[in-house]
Amino acid sequence: MEYFNGDYFCSKPIDNPGAIYECRHIISIENIPSNTPVEDISKAKQVRTPEWNSCVQKIKKPAPDGGWPDIVATLNQETIDWLKENVPDSTDKRRSDMPQGWMIYDPMLSIESISVSIFFLRQVDAMAFKLRWS
């Protein structure tokens, strides 16, 4: 699990795929530890990181052409429930269109299956998430 601080945006948020969610903090939950040697990647893909196993689920996304479905990663329900209960919305009037304190990509619009990023408005919420789920 990695923390990033900067100017970020989620271009396809789950709550409103047509909007853009701007934030300053990201927690990225990786499928494979970043320091895994190349020769061990195949094995690591089978085991996964502990954070991945406790926070993430894979779902099937229907293929647009009716072919094989894509597999994408998103947060599991327990993790989403924790975020809803523990990360307050913003009270800033400038964020009235997207007041949520956290956001993830809409998994049906994502192509990601090796990591899941959670976008946070406040560092304290990102760090609380990392402390709880690491």
Structurally, the chain folds into a number of domains equal to 1
What does the block give as tokens for 37? 């040697």
Please give the pLDDT value at position 46. 66
Residue type, position 96, single letter: S
Radius of gyration, alpha carbons of the chain: 15
What does the block give as tokens for 91? 């009270």
Q: Using CA atoms, how far apart are residues 130 and 83, in angstroms rounded to an integer?
A: 11
3-class secondary structure per residue, 8-30? EEECCECCCCCCCEEEEEEEEEE
Q: Using CA atoms, how far apart are residues 103 and 66, in angstroms rounded to an integer?
A: 29
Exposed, middle or buried by CB within 10 Å (0-12, 13-18, 19+), for 105?
buried
Are 27 and 134 spatial neighbours (Cβ–Cβ below 8 Å)?
no
Query: Could you read off the pLDDT of 26-62 as tens digits, one per residue?
Result: 999 988 777 777 777 776 666 677 788 889 888 888 7
Q: Structural domain of residue 101, as residue ranges?
A: 2-133
Regions of the chain with pLDDT less than 70:
43-47, 111-112
Tell if the pTM clears 0.95, that is, is over it. Answer: no
